[in-house]
A and B are shown apart, each in its own frame.
Chain A
Amino acid sequence: GAVVSQHPSWVICKSGTSVKIECRSLDFQATTMFWYRQFPKQSLMLMATSNEGSKATYEQGVEKDKFLINHASLTLSTLTVTSAHPEDSSFYICSANSGSSYEQYFGPGTRLTVT
């Protein structure tokens, strides 16, 4: 089956610093990747959609200058949280789609804690 990985699985950073999260599709080419944020005991909130080689499309209310998304290749997308603050602490999850079917496959998530 389709496998999506994320790195790191958890990260702690100090307030004001930036942190990068990687999302990779391991056994398929992902034409579209999605980034979600999930708070404890809540549903997934879509942050942005990215297509390889194009600028990401951000959902309303998501700061594009704070959450930088790059989809440089068909197997890699990155999310950079710039000038992180404690309120950015959350579980960040990516998903990927090959473009040839409807299925979205999710990564294992990255737990970000900003101190």
Chain B
Amino acid sequence: QQQVKQSPQSLIVQKGGISIINCAYENTAFDYFPWYQQFPGKGPALLIAIRPDVSEKKEGRFTISFNKSAKQFSLHIMDSQPGDSATYFCAASNGVAGANNLFFGTGTRLTVIP
């Protein structure tokens, strides 16, 4: 059972465009929603994360939008660059900080065309 559903599976965006990746969850106990960026042959790197007490968080060109009632959250990459080409994973966890597991989405392979 996939606890976090992610779409699209792949995404192609022109340089300078906006990349949008969406995730949905069912477990209302989830209270931490991170996004990870992974390049081929490397481990995932924490990109940005949000808690459910805010609806949006922005760090540079990366923004998380969070809709608690719809149980959805999304990653927006503004002014996408070829260097952003990677696989992006959303995730969710619940409970005491650090004690519980991350449930990962299936990943989105982003390609930014120059």
Interface of A with B (CB < 8 Å)? 4, 6, 31-32, 34, 41-44, 46, 49, 91, 93, 95, 97-109, 111
Contact = CB atoms under 8 A, between A and B. Distances in A.
8 contacts: A32-B99, A34-B101, A44-B104, A95-B43, A98-B98, A99-B97, A103-B98, A109-B43
B102 interface: yes
Interface in B5-45: 32, 34, 36, 41-45
Q: How large is the interface on B (under 10, 10 to 19, 20 to 34, 35 or more residues)?
A: 20 to 34
Contacts of A102: 32, 34, 49, 51, 93, 97-98
Lowest 3 A-B CB distances belong to which pairs?
Answer: A97-B98, A106-B43, A102-B32
Interface in B71-97: 89, 93, 97
Nearest to B101: A46
Contacts of A4: 43
Nearest to A4: B43
B105 A43 contact: yes
Interface of B: 32, 34, 36, 41-46, 49, 51, 89, 93, 97-99, 101-102, 104-107, 109
A63 B98 CA distance: 24
